[in-house]
Amino acid sequence: MTEETTMNDAADLREETAEAAPEVAANDRTAALEAQLAEAKQATLYAQAEIQNVRRRAEKEAVDARTYAVTSFARDMLSVADNLERALAAIPAELRADDKFKGLVAGLDATGREVASVFQRHGITRIAAMGEPLDPNRHQAMMELASDQPPGTVVQEMQPGYMIKDRLLRPALVGVAKAGE
């Protein structure tokens, strides 16, 4: 081999290596860019899912806020309804028939019906207690009473309980039948 051939071979080898180097570098760069693109797509999907979850949570909280915004006011109004009910129950039958008190009794009855109507319009319902088995989620047992009812059955209601939609507003204060001795 001559020196010239060796130099030509070396030059050819350098040219092939120089041509191959950009191709290898381009493939590495393409792979790196594709990996970055895949990461960016994944991050975008996670961000979109998080935004959707936040939106759903906010919508639910807004609905709950509208639905249960009157809870505090409703609790305060329950004492008014209780006092009105006690006042009506305290009026003896002979006074109900008396002409002097008929207007007052009729007005109190109408007010009681209006309070019940307002409660109903706002989703406030009275909890049924008498004769029901004690439900600690809706009733608060205040005492046990001897009774012919099965043990744990509500036999006396001291104060009615109320629900607002599906939430407890106030538990019913009740007396329950105790087990036989």
Nearest CA to 111 out of 141, 80, 70, 137 is that of: 80
Task: Say which CATH number the domain at 136 has.
Answer: 2.30.22.10
What domain count does the chain have? 3
One domain, residues 132 and 178 = yes
**E strand or H helix at 143:** strand 139-145
**What's the rounded Cα separation, in Å, for the pair 124 and 12?**
92
- For the segment 4-32, the average pLDDT, to the nearest whole number, is 66
- For the segment 27-37, the average pLDDT, to the nearest whole number, is 90
Question: What global pTM score does this model have?
Answer: 0.64
What pLDDT, on the 0 to 100 scale, is given for residue 170? 94
Among the three residues 100, 122, 144, which one is the final residue of a domain in this structure?
122
Domain that holds residue 99: 70-122
**What's the rounded Cα separation, in Å, for the pair 78 and 56?**
33
Q: How confident is the model at residue 82 (pLDDT cuts 50, 70, 90)?
A: very high
One domain, residues 91 and 155 = no
One domain, residues 64 and 93 = no
Q: How confident is the model at residue 94 (pLDDT cuts 50, 70, 90)?
A: confident
The strands making up 167-170's β-sheet, listed across from edge to edge, are: 124-126, 162-164, 167-170
**What's the rounded Cα separation, in Å, for the pair 169 and 127?**
10
Using CA atoms, how far residue 86 sits from 35, 101, 111, 137, 155, in Å, is: 75, 17, 13, 25, 19
